[in-house]
Structures are given as C-alpha cells and as structure tokens.
Structure 1
Amino acid sequence: MVLAMLAVLIGPVPEARAAADGSLAVSSATVAVGSDVRFQYATPRPQAKNWVGLYADPGNGPVGEAYVGPSLKWVYTPDGSGSGVLATGGLTPGNYVLYYLYNDGYTWLAQPVKLKLTAALPGTLTVADPTVAAGSPVQVSYTTTSANAKNWVGLYRNPGDGPVNQVYVGPSLAWAYTPNASGSATLPTTGLTPGDYIVYYLYNDGYTWLAQPFPIRVTGTGAPRFPSSAFALRNAKVGVAYTAAVGGLVQGGTAGLTLTKTSGPAWASVSVSGVVSGTPTAAGTVTIGVRATSSTGTADATVTVRVQSGVLVPQLRALSWNLWHGGSSVTGGFEKELKFLLDSDADVVGLQENDGAAQRLAGALGWSFHQDGSVAVVSRYPITATGTAIAGRAVAARIDLGARSVRLWSAHLGYTPYGPYDACFGRMGVQQLLNQEAAAGRTGQINTIVSAMGPDLAAASSTPVLLVGDFNAPSHLDWTASNSRCGYGAVPWPTSTAPANAGLTDSYRQAHPNPAAFPGTTWSPVFKTFTGGYGYDSHAGEAEPQDRIDFIHYKGPLTVVSSDALWVGAPSQSNPSANAWPSDHAAVLTVFQVG
C-alpha cells in the first residue's frame, strides 16, 4: 500500500533499461490548462509498466535517463502502440516536456516531446466517438462563454494544416457553424481517406481557439489488408531479445482487430496488437506468417527477419524521398507510401514535403521518426539523438545500427527559380545560372547546411554521415563537358559542389560514373510536359527538362553496393490522383556495405 501511494506521487520506480527506438507524439503541442494532453506512442518493446510522464521544462525530468524528481502527471502505456491522455488540472501555464519511459524506470523509449500550457480557454469540445468509419459523421458537442453567431468547428488532417498556432494555414476538410453557448454539430467524413484527423472549435469566422482541439481517427471500410503481402522487418541477432511491430500496418476495416501467428520458428511470437517478439536461436533469414482478423474479415502477410550472428546491420539501405505534399496529391497516398517503403526494404529514410507524414508512417511501421516542417527522418532502427533544424530546411538524426551508428541529414532546398528552366528555356549564361542559384537561396542554404554538418563530417571516420534530400538543382557531375544538357557543357552547380568540397561523395554517381548512360533522373516520372509558370509560359507544352535533383551523399566507412532512382508503375500527368506512385519525384535508394 505504501509503495502504491508513492507511485501515485512520484511516478514509477526505476527497474531496467531499453533503447530509445519508439515514437512519441502529441496531438497538439499547445494545450490550455484544464484540457487534456493527448498523445500517441509506439515501441517494439512493450511492457505492462512502460509509462509516459509530464514534467516542467526545464525541470526535474529524466534528461540523463535517471530519476531527478517526481513527474507532475503520468500514466502507464502497456501496449506496442496506442494513445493516452494526461489531465492538466492544477498546473500553471508554461513550458513542459513529455517523456516515454521503460518498465517503471527512466530510460527513454522515444525522444521527449515539448509542449506549452496556455491559459484556460473559454469553452469545451468533445467528440462522441473519436474513432469513426470513413463515410460516417463525426458528432461533436461544445460549450463556450464566448457565444457568437459565426463560431464554428472545422475538421483537419492531423498533423496537417489546421490552425495549430491559431492562424490560418490551410482550408478545413469539413466545417459547421456553432452559434450557441452550447450545443452539438455534425461533420461529414465522406471522401476522406483513413487516418488521423483533428477537430478545432474556433471563434467568429476566425482561427482563435475556443477549446482544446480534439483528435479523431477515421478508419477504413471493408476487409482488413496489409499494404504489402510480404516484407522484411528490422534485423535481429542470435541470442538477443527481439521485437518489431506490424499491427499499425493493417489498413481497411480494423474494428476489433487482432493479430496472430500462422507460421514461423518456435522462438517468434505475435501478440494480438501485432508485436513480433522472441529471442532468435540461429542465424539466417526466417519467415513468419501473420494474420490480421477484424469484424469484417482477415488478411495474411509473410514477414522476414534477417537474423545475424555478427554485425546487426551489415548492409544499410538508405532512401531519399520527396512525398509531394505528404502524399495528399494521390488518392490513397498514405497506403501507397507504406507499400513502397515496405517493398523497397529501406532502413533509413530522409523525407521532404513531409507535411506531418513522418509521424503517421513511423506509427504504422513501428519505426522511429524526427520531423520539422517539410523535412523528416524515419528509421526502422532507433533514433538516439537529433539535431536542431536549419530554418526548416534540414534535420539531423543519429541512428543506432548496433555496432555502429550513422548520422542522417535530410534537406529540402528552395524550388524557385529553377536552374534547368533558366538554362533550357532562358538560355542564360553559366554565370547567370550561378547568380540565379544564389538568388533562389539554394547556394546559401547548402552552405549553411554543410557548415552545420562540420562536427559530424569531422567525426565521419567513426560515425558515417549521410546528406540526403531534394536539392531542387542539378549536379555538376551530370552537367559536364562530355555530357551536354540543353547545349551546355560544364556547369558547377553550387548545391552539388559544396557537399563535394566538404568531402561528401554522391552515391548515385559513385555507382554510375557515366551520366550519359545513367542519367538517374528524379524530376519527374510524372511531369513530362512543361505546364508553364516560372516566367516561361511561352514554353508551355514543350518537353519538361528531366534532371537528377534528389541525392544521397555520404562520408565515412561505407561502400556503395548499388544506387537507383525508383518509382512505381507508369505515372500519369493528366490524372495524377490515380497514380500508384504517390509522389512527383523519383526516390533515390542507395545500398551501402557498412564498414
């Protein structure tokens, strides 16, 4: 009884250690005092006494993964993935931080998440059922002391373009006026794809919050399904406890969803939530049959696990991918993104035009993620440290590969003016092209990023470094005297010369030295005809200049095994929403042998 009372006061008591290979995200980073902090979590190491605790920031949280002082609020999070709520009653406005911690202890399961508590809001918002099937209405109830004929509720994708900071970002997907001091409203979900959404209660045709936003989930319809019927999970080691998650991958009708093992080695088990776990007994590749069962049907998948006796990750599969507004430009984009990531067998991914997709993708895959605006990193192996974002242009993450770590930078440079248009349509001289690169901001952006990478590049002999991204500019390795592009010879494009001068190597051109034979085009498998704009409307209808503007650069003890520009199917420019490929860029996949 005494121990139970102590637990209520200070949170759990430390017991064991684990790796920070999970994810933690809040539905809103700004919460009014009196409202709930709503969060989502995932870990490949579920324990009945994993927990989430709220601390003042800066304060007495387990910054060094050791007890310093009691949590202000806490709750157990026992599943492989799920959501939770922490009440904020009794707290004062200010900065706080949320920790996701292992097995009654203080070892991080994910990177902490910062949030801000603001003064209490003049209303309340509740949703009758926070999980609805696509096509079913969302029923909301509200109260406020600031009644107005044009108060309203709006439904947005989460995370997405809602008024997170109480200013307009993008249009709502559905909305309704709520003119009374209390009442109810209905928001339709017809046409929405399955995923996470959020309802805002807003003042007088504007974007000032009347209540804390309320997150909801729209589920699919029909039978359950896996995005891919066969895919690999993270590697395992002989004699070392192993976990990976597959439950979040199930799409379609998921009401009453449970997962079971249908085949595979004796050491592997599959929990009802889809956590694959056990301790491998021998090296080799094993296959495990997994069945998803819901109230609407079943789906089967075969997953493979490469069990290593030595190095955990002898080969690293790195991917750079522009998601084209988070996949929202293509019908069913999220599921198509999941399928490609599974089919590509990527280990670490740098994303651009992320629009919050990294959080959703990592949650479904059971991976780690780090995101800032349009750029993000997702990884099937634990992210153990992150770096400060550079003006929303780049983020960095340190990824634990077992015997070795790798530092991954994901970058997205400005897109206008665009060099190939200035060259192929504008016929500018080489110096004019370089001046345009500076005017676009890309030259300064790449120099800032490379400078910030300095400490990582200096340590690359022990911790390899990757710089991946959409640079929105060609490479000097492609525009050469022997490989004419639009009649030009050599052009020293700054966005490629700066990484090279810093000691980074272009992995695609390392694998394919001849740019004429292997152009490696990434812009664009969708747009083959120029549609105008950028000051070149007179060239509309001409062939779109095709070029390689997405890259994976590296430095350190890595050897390029292969590198490819990838997309799926035959994407249509006239009807892109129906494409199987959910982006307008090709992705770049490089396989490295890890030294």
Structure 2
Amino acid sequence: MKKLICICLLLAAFIGVKAQESDEFTVLQWNIWQEGTKVKGGYDAIVNEIVRLKPDFVTFSEVRNYNNTRFCDRIVESLRQKGETYYSFYSYDSGLLSRHPITDSLTVFPEKDDHGSIYKMTSRVKGHKIAVYTAHLDYLSDAYYNVRGYDGSTWKKIPVPQTVLEVLQLNDASQRDDAIRCFIAEARKDIAEGTIVILGGDFNEPSHLDWIRETKDLYDHNGLIVPWTVPLLLDNAGFVDTYRTLYPDVLKYPGFTFPIDNPLVPVEQLTWAPEADERDRIDYVFYYPHPAISLKDAVIFGPKGSIVNSKRVPNESDDKYLLPEGVWPTDHKGVLVMFGIR
C-alpha cells in the first residue's frame, strides 16, 4: 500500500500539482513526430497532454510548420483555447514552449537540408534568469545503426563495423557534433553571466554512459563499448545528464526512448532496423549545475513497450513511466524532468 501511495504522489507531481509551486519547475523533452501528423488525432493529443502535465518548458523535436502554418502560433492558440497560457516563437525542426514570458530568443544552429537545429529562449523563474535550449540533431550518419548491421544514412543492411574507431569516424561524419559545439559555445556565455542553462533534445545519438562494459553484449551492441561523441562533449563541458544521474544503474534503468510500441501504428513504420534490437536512449534533458537549482526527479513519458526485431515487446525494466492519457502521437518516448529552484 505504501508503494502504491508513493507512485500516486509521484504521478501527481508530474501532472502539474507540485509543478505549480514556486520552488519547482518541469522540463519536457518531446519528439512529436512531424507535429503529430503521423497518428490520427496526434496534434490534439499533444495539446491535451500539455494541458494535463502543465510543464514549465517543452523542448520539441520535429516542428515542420505544415500547410504554411507556424506551429508555434498554432500550439499557443490551441492551448489558450484550453485555458492555458504559453509563450513561443517561430522555429523550424525544433521548438520551444514556455509557461513563463520569453524575454529573448536565438537561433544557435539553423536547420539546413535536414541536418538538425538548436534554438534558445530566455525567461525568468523565481527571479532567476534561465536559458532553455532545444536540439533536434542530425539524423544522418547514425552510427549506432551501423553497429547493428544497418547503414546509418540509408538503413540498408551492411557488415557490422569491427572497431570503435570505425564507428566514431562514421558517427562524426554527421553534423551532430558541430551543432552541440555551437550550443556549448553559446551556453558558456550564459554560464559566465550566472544564468541557469537547460538543454532538451532528440540527439539521434546514444550515450557513452549507456554503451558500457555491462551492455556490450546486449541490445545488439555487438561487443562494442562506444564513447559516443555528443553526450561525451556535454559531459566534458560540465553538463549533467538528468536521467542517467538519477538512475545510474544502466541495466535496471535503460531509459529507452526509441523505438517505441505505439499501438496505433503498424510495426513497420516504427522500426528503422527491422532485424535488429535498436532500442536506445536518444532523448535527453541536460543542465549545467547552478546554486539555485537541484535535480529532483525524472520519468519516461509514453507507452512502456518497445519494438525489437519487428516485434512489439513489453517493458521489463525498472524505469518510472508516466503513461499517456489517450492517443500517443509519436514514435518516441518523452522525458519529463523536475527541478527544484530557490
């Protein structure tokens, strides 16, 4: 009974009860799969879940501004009609949503030829200046697919690379590392000014904290221990991976965010490597340590199941989940993180 009560309290916190207190704020990273257009009722589901969860900040991936519309304006108006006030600004590929008035915005890494993007907004929370960045990084040269026997740009079957050096050379042919270096350079200016810095994104790249000795023979890692470039750059620059910090046991808490078992979508539309176990954690929320904030909790947001070898498989981990209330609009799981602020 005590365990059940604790779970209920945790979920209550993440659906906006505690998040509305002045000493806490939440950040939701959410790849919304082409603005929810790939799932019937997807856009409305995005709106309804934001109304339910009331996150302070949302870092979106796959903002496309379909049909000559501005997604930022459309989502703000849809939320207004539901009684929720949010702020945004024009962006493409990735996007930002804030419950707090936006004081400035910046394109850090502009989208070009679908090689990813990073945007920044600034606001204030409890008197503190905060810079929230959103990143949707290059999906090409995805070398974690090469490790699993698929070309990371064409997704055709190939021989598995034999060395870590070969994997990293393939990986760094992408623009993911270029984008994250632009972020680090801009964020250092914020840090020097005493600003709180948060980064959420779909990196299209796993973490060096997950591809370790204990997992080298799991999830079709094929015996490789890989220091993946982008999360390692962030780690070396002092940024904190919220989920892995709270849940350091990679075997119990893998935190997979892709690919997921969306029951409304055929399996063949959910997998890029149909004959492999491609499960990975590629959606993140990072922050830079700041005396005014503390990391309190995080949950995986979305359905529990995944896709493995073109089959729907149940979750067997100890990861904490916040399940959707209705239609799940995407092929990713989200990450919802709670911070304390004073």
TM range (shorter): 0.7 to 0.9
Classify 1:453/1:412 alpha carbon distance in 2 versus 1 (closer, same or farther; 3 Å). same
Rounded Cα–Cα distance in structure 2 between residues aligned with 1:384 and 1:532: 38
What corresponds to 2:165 in structure 1?
431
Which of 135, 158, 162 is the matching residue for 1:411?
135
Matches within 5 A, 1:264-413: 306=20, 313-356=22-65, 357-365=71-79, 366-392=85-111, 393-413=117-137
Structure 1 segment 536-555 matched on structure 2, within 5 A = 541-555=274-288
Please tell me whether the aligned partners of residues 259 and 270 of structure 2 are also in contact (alpha carbons under 8 angstroms). Answer: no
Confirm or deny: 8 A CA contact 2:141 2:172 kept in the other structure.
no
Q: Given the two structures, how large is their TM-score scaled by the length of structure 2?
A: 0.74
How many correspondences in the alignment?
282
Shift of 1:529: 6.0
Q: Determine if contact 1:385/1:397 at 8 Å carries over to the other structure.
A: yes
Query: Structure 2 matches for 1:67-466, cutoff 5 A?
Result: 306=20, 313-356=22-65, 357-365=71-79, 366-392=85-111, 393-425=117-149, 426-428=159-161, 429-459=163-193, 462-466=194-198
Q: Which amino acid aligns with 1:546?
A: R
Distance change in 2, residues 1:371/1:509 (3 Å): farther
Instruction: Say if 1:314 and 1:593, in contact at 8 Å, map to a contact too.
Output: yes
Question: Which residue identity is paired with 1:588?
Answer: V
Name the structure 1 match of 2:209. Answer: 477
Alignment-derived partner of residue 151 in structure 1? none
Supply the distance in 2 between the matched residues of 1:368 and 1:529 (Cα, whole angstroms).
36
Higher strand share: 1
Once the two structures are TM-superposed, the CA of residue 471 in structure 1 deviates from its matched residue by 0.4
After TM superposition, give the deviation of residue 452 of structure 1 in Å.
2.5
CA distance in 2 between counterparts of 1:571 and 1:481 reads: 23
The AA in structure 1 aligned to 2:243 is Y
Give CA deviations for 1:185-230 in whole Å, capped at 9, x if unaligned. Answer: xxxxxxxxxxxxxxxxxxxxxxxxxxxxxxxxxxxxxxxxxxxxxx
Aligned to 1:473, the other structure's residue is in SS state: coil
Write the distance in 1 (CA, Å) between the matches of 2:296 and 2:192.
Answer: 24
1:494 and 2:229 correspond: yes
Seen in structure 2, the aligned counterparts of structure 1 residues 335 and 507 have a Cα distance that, compared at 3 Å, is same
Does the 8 Å CA contact 2:120/2:134 hold for their aligned counterparts? yes
The equivalent residue for 1:586 is 333
The letter for the 1-side match of 2:199 is: L
Report the CA distance between 1:444 and its aligned residue.
Answer: 1.9
Taking the aligned partners of 1:532 and 1:591, their CA distance within structure 2 comes to 29
Distance change in 2, residues 1:434/1:530 (3 Å)? farther
> Partner amino acid for 1:472?
N
Output the CA distance in 2 between the equivalents of 1:385 and 1:585: 29
Q: Which residue of 2 aligns with 1:525?
A: 260
Runs of 4 or more above 4 Å deviation? 527-534, 568-574
Tell me how far 1:448 sits from its aligned partner: 2.3
Structure 1 SS opposite 2:275:
coil
Tell whether the 8 Å contact from 2:61 to 2:94 is kept in structure 1 after alignment: yes
The 3 A distance-change label for structure 1 pair 449 and 566 is same
Structure 2 unaligned blocks of 5 or more: 1-11, 66-70, 80-84, 112-116, 150-158, 312-325
Shift of 1:323: 0.9
Partner residue of 1:513?
A: 248
Q: Does the CA contact (< 8 Å) of 2:118 and 2:179 recur in 1?
A: no
**TM-score normalised by length of structure 1:** 0.44
Q: Per-residue displacement from partner, 1:541-566 (whole Å, max 9, x unpaired)?
A: 42441000011000123211111221
Secondary structure, counterpart of 2:123 in structure 1: strand
Q: Equivalent residue for 2:302?
A: 567
AA aligned to 1:322 is: N
Question: Which structure has more RCO (C-alpha within 8 Å, separation ≥ 6)?
Answer: 2
CA contact (8 A) 2:94 2:134 kept: yes
**SS of equivalent residue, structure 1 residue 449:** helix
Per-residue deviation, 1:418: 1.7
What is the Cα deviation at residue 532 of structure 1? 11
Structure (1 or 2) with the greater helix fraction: 2
CA contact (8 A) 1:529 1:542 kept: no
Query: 1:406: Cα distance to partner?
Result: 1.4
In the TM superposition, what is the alpha-carbon distance from 1:454 to its structure 2 partner?
2.1
